[in-house]
Structure 1
Amino acid sequence: MSSFQFIHTGDIHLDSPLKGLSGQEGPAVERIRTATRTAFEDLVTQAIDGQVAFMVIAGDLYDGDWRDFQTGVFFVRQMGRLRAANIPVFVLHGNHDAESQITKRLTLPDSVQVFSYRKPQTFKLEDHGVALHGQSFRLQATTDNLAAAYPPPIKGYFNIGVLHTALGGMKGPHENYAPCTLDELVTRGYDYWALAHVHQGGVLHENPHVVFCGNLQGRHIREVGPKSAQLVTVRHSAIEAIERLHTDVVRWIRLDVPVGDCGRFGDVIDQIKHSIGEATRTAQGRLLACRIQLSGATPLHGQLLASAPQLLAEAKAAALALGEDVAWIERVVDATAPTTMPSNASAINDLKVLLAQAASDCDLQAEIADDLGDLVRRLPHEVANDLDDPFLEAVIAKQLPTMIEQASSYLGARLAVEKP
């Protein structure tokens, strides 16, 4: 068996609709919109430059139903580049791919092999003595243990199991699709398990290796930090090394900005500017997409909460001052706390009591639901699906008591701002 390298990737989500970009323009926003394509194109370039033996895509190449055929055309173009470099590709369809199976499909180059969804299928690469075993998802909600039916390893080959799975429900916002256990995979007799679905990549077991590739490009604030694919080196039928290939072009970060020592509003702005500048030093040329969270106990608490639009504008201005595509501000969150009780604390408490009573007022809830119903129906799809904001989540889910509670906190802070 010859020595060789291969790339293990997945959770690419080509042309995934990115959240928080509605109505925004500029080079940074355009870079975010095209990030999934650019990251995959860069990965293909690295595969060609490194002359890898083959590439494995372990599911969720797409992100559900295509908006148009250009998504598929882009993928075929990249596969054509790999074919010209004599690099075969093995694709397994995951839960997001299963959504688009019956809608749009383009003919792929003959160098691309797609695992069947009917039963486990094995592909062999005789030149390298490699056997790849896998089964695609037929339905999005695949809850069967697919790995249980995978065939035994082929003697004399380097056996790779390709599987899209939550591995019995790992931590994180992942549906428990194709559940199985780590012990099942370890004892199957394969040399390497190429897993996807859990977006946090990592090696779960060595000899045999069980590896999640991680997603190729972070798409929103819940996918922070470096994103990558795995470059695997095999020598003398054994894993010699696994290296992360960072191809993400946009890196998401939660940026904590402590403002407890700030005495003036202007000091808070200066602290935001400083924090953004320091964070970009670690981005290695990537666009840094930031959610800024102000923290600490401060007498400016009420003023900060009441000045949310200005804070966001100041943060965006600070990012633009570094260059048009150096940093982008997704949101500014005020998580500060007051240091003292305001002089009108009694009135604020009375308001909170009234709002608490309103949360159990059925007539008021019906009126609010009627007023907001049409607004919610008109929300853009990407906004309606961005449930990372507690108030928006409560509105869309029609959780009126929670919504009133959120409004109560905001109004209380506004009233707590002392007049000069």
Structure 2
Amino acid sequence: MNSCPLEFSGARFKARCLSAIFMFCLSLCWNNDMSYFQFIHTGDIHLDSPLKGLSGQEGPAAERIRTATRTAFEDLVTQAINGQVAFMVIAGDLYDGDWRDFQTGLFFVRQMGRLHAANIPAFVLHGNHDAESQITKRLTLPDNVQVFAYRKSQTFKLEDHRVALHGQSFRMQATTDNLAAAYPPPVKGYFNIGVLHTALGGTNGPHENYAPCTLDELVNKGYDYWALAHVHQGGVLHEHPHVVFCGNLQSRHIREAGAKSAQLITVQDGALQGIEPVHTDVVRWIYLDVPVGECVRFGDVIDQIKSIIGKVTRNAEGRLLACRIQLSGTTALHGELLASGPQLLAEARAAALALGEEVAWIERVINATRPASAVSILSDGSAINDLPVLLAQAADDADLQAEIASDLGDVVRRLPHDAALDIDDPLLEAAINKDFGAVIEQAGAYLSARLAAERR
């Protein structure tokens, strides 16, 4: 009679033990799952940035280029949702300067709304272009978007993943203070991310030296990951801790040639386990050298252009290639090519269209060929043969060079900063460098080619 309670008690004890073991194992699995997460690091998106070279251009290719920054960002949000990332970091220059079209801002709000519906928070830092933007100051963002303050550094915590994000937005465009120096120490027991818009001492190409700091300074801060933007060429500058420029999401001109991406970071047990690019660019800029030394006719040059474009588009993975073509080599066609610039560009664009409406688009054709010989350009024994002698004399004429310097000086000073960086014309390059002897030489070569072409 007395054994029944004991047996019942023993069965209950065993059940409780099994239940406890089960819950312990479940908690271990749960904690392991919680220690793993991924996030996206992006920046330099420049939504709706006006793109160069599209004036007067129509058709699917031109429209695709015009909307490329939006499409790339929308695709990135889609990949974030499909991949169930924990959060997204936008490290500055979401917008593009003093851009007053609020449709740009509404587009961004819609994309953040998509993240909100998927329970994905976004952390936004304002860079130099955002500081100029009217949209930045006035637009109300969804609840899942946190914007770093600009008066001092700010820390946001994600308790579920034990993540602390530290950052400070730009209050004005020309922010030349070292913002990183005032970032707080890392939060113990958290995966610490520093978000910073910086030129990193101005050592990364033609970027203004905003929020300057040093790589050593970032490495020694104690954070696990630095999410940088401003320099459009992405790259990992240091590992463990990782210091990473995400690069711009979508290239907008030839100086941003090549693949563009955001970065997908994987974290396991509080340590960075992997980083990989997320390519959502829909237009990829490319510089193509087209040798034409073997070409005999003008049409042969166009055929060569078409052939080389056809080869590179096979690896474009469906992206539109925006091409700048450089013709190279020594050829008897030098003069004809030099004298037929508009026709050459139109024929090259037609050759690209023949491959498909959204396969390739030709932004510009540069003639970098050399003449086969001076005689082949100026060959019929008339006064035109005296031109090289006159030009040689002009190149040594100090008074003439001074006059040219005066005439061209104002023109060169009015050139936009970007135009001065994007020099591909030897005549313009010589003018900017104030090499007026070379200006005369280059202008003479063009004049010779034009005169020779008209005589044929």
- TM-score (norm: length of structure 2): 0.84
Q: What is the aligned counterpart of 1:85 among 111, 114, 118?
A: 118
Q: 1:349 Cα deviation (Å)?
A: 3.2
Residue range with higher mean Cα deviation, 166-175 or 132-141:
166-175
Q: 1:403 Cα deviation (Å)?
A: 6.0
Tell me the SS of whatever aligns to 2:346: helix
Name the amino acid aligned to 2:63: E
Distance, in Å, in 1 between the alignment partners of 2:364 and 2:205 is: 22
Maintained 8 Å contact 1:142/1:178 = yes
Q: What is the aligned counterpart of 1:350 among 382, 390, 407?
A: 390
Residue pairs, 1:196-275, within 5 angstroms: 196-275=229-308
Residue pairs, 1:7-22, within 5 angstroms: 7-22=40-55
Q: 1:195 Cα deviation (Å)?
A: 0.4
Residues matched between the structures, number = 415
> What residue number does 1:411 align with?
447
Distance, in Å, in 2 between the alignment partners of 1:170 and 1:298 is: 40
> What residue number does 2:319 align with?
286
Deviation string, structure 1 residues 36-69 (Cα, Å, up to 9, x no partner): 0110000001001111000000011011012311
Residue pairs, 1:37-48, within 5 angstroms: 37-48=70-81
CA separation of 1:69/1:385 partners in 2, compared to 1, >3 Å: closer, same or farther?
farther
Q: 1:262 Cα deviation (Å)?
A: 1.8
Distance, in Å, in 2 between the alignment partners of 1:302 and 1:103 is: 52
- TM-score (norm: length of structure 1): 0.90
CA separation of 1:353/1:417 partners in 2, compared to 1, >3 Å: closer, same or farther?
farther
Matched residues, percent identical? Answer: 75
Distance, in Å, in 2 between the alignment partners of 1:117 and 1:55 is: 19
> What residue number does 2:138 align with?
105
Residue range with higher mean Cα deviation, 222-231 or 173-182:
173-182
Q: 1:138 Cα deviation (Å)?
A: 1.2
Q: 1:337 Cα deviation (Å)?
A: 1.1
Maintained 8 Å contact 2:431/2:439 = no
Maintained 8 Å contact 1:255/1:291 = yes
Deviation string, structure 1 residues 88-114 (Cα, Å, up to 9, x no partner): 000001111111158752100111111
Distance, in Å, in 2 between the alignment partners of 1:183 and 1:367 is: 48
Distance, in Å, in 1 between the alignment partners of 2:232 and 2:401 is: 43
- 5+ unaligned residues in a row in structure 1: which ranges? none
Which of the two has higher C-alpha Rg? 2
Q: 1:171 Cα deviation (Å)?
A: 3.1
Residue pairs, 1:172-211, within 5 angstroms: 172-211=205-244
Name the amino acid aligned to 1:205: H
Distance, in Å, in 2 between the alignment partners of 1:346 and 1:396 is: 25
Maintained 8 Å contact 1:230/1:244 = yes
> What residue number does 1:28 align with?
61
Maintained 8 Å contact 1:90/1:115 = yes
Q: 1:180 Cα deviation (Å)?
A: 0.9
Deviation string, structure 1 residues 189-243 (Cα, Å, up to 9, x no partner): 0000000011111111111111110100000011101100000010111111111
Name the amino acid aligned to 1:266: G
Residue range with higher mean Cα deviation, 409-418 or 389-398:
389-398
> What residue number does 1:153 align with?
186
Name the amino acid aligned to 2:60: P
Maintained 8 Å contact 1:98/1:139 = yes
Q: 1:358 Cα deviation (Å)?
A: 8.5
Maintained 8 Å contact 2:89/2:124 = yes
CA separation of 1:366/1:211 partners in 2, compared to 1, >3 Å: closer, same or farther?
closer
CA separation of 1:208/1:361 partners in 2, compared to 1, >3 Å: closer, same or farther?
closer
Name the amino acid aligned to 1:351: L
Distance, in Å, in 2 between the alignment partners of 1:300 and 1:315 is: 16
Tell me the SS of whatever aligns to 1:222: helix
Distance, in Å, in 2 between the alignment partners of 1:228 and 1:102 is: 24
Deviation string, structure 1 residues 378-418 (Cα, Å, up to 9, x no partner): x9x99979954547967997979476564333223334559
Distance, in Å, in 2 between the alignment partners of 1:400 and 1:272 is: 32
- 5+ unaligned residues in a row in structure 2: which ranges? 1-33
Residue pairs, 1:67-82, within 5 angstroms: 67-82=100-115
CA separation of 1:298/1:385 partners in 2, compared to 1, >3 Å: closer, same or farther?
closer
Q: 1:302 Cα deviation (Å)?
A: 1.4
> What residue number does 2:360 align with?
327
CA separation of 1:28/1:54 partners in 2, compared to 1, >3 Å: closer, same or farther?
same
Q: 1:87 Cα deviation (Å)?
A: 0.5
Distance, in Å, in 1 between the alignment partners of 2:406 and 2:89 is: 53
Distance, in Å, in 2 between the alignment partners of 1:388 and 1:281 is: 29
CA separation of 1:111/1:396 partners in 2, compared to 1, >3 Å: closer, same or farther?
farther
Q: Cα RMSD over matched residues?
A: 2.9
Q: 1:16 Cα deviation (Å)?
A: 0.5
CA separation of 1:292/1:232 partners in 2, compared to 1, >3 Å: closer, same or farther?
same
CA separation of 1:255/1:186 partners in 2, compared to 1, >3 Å: closer, same or farther?
same
> What residue number does 2:346 align with?
313
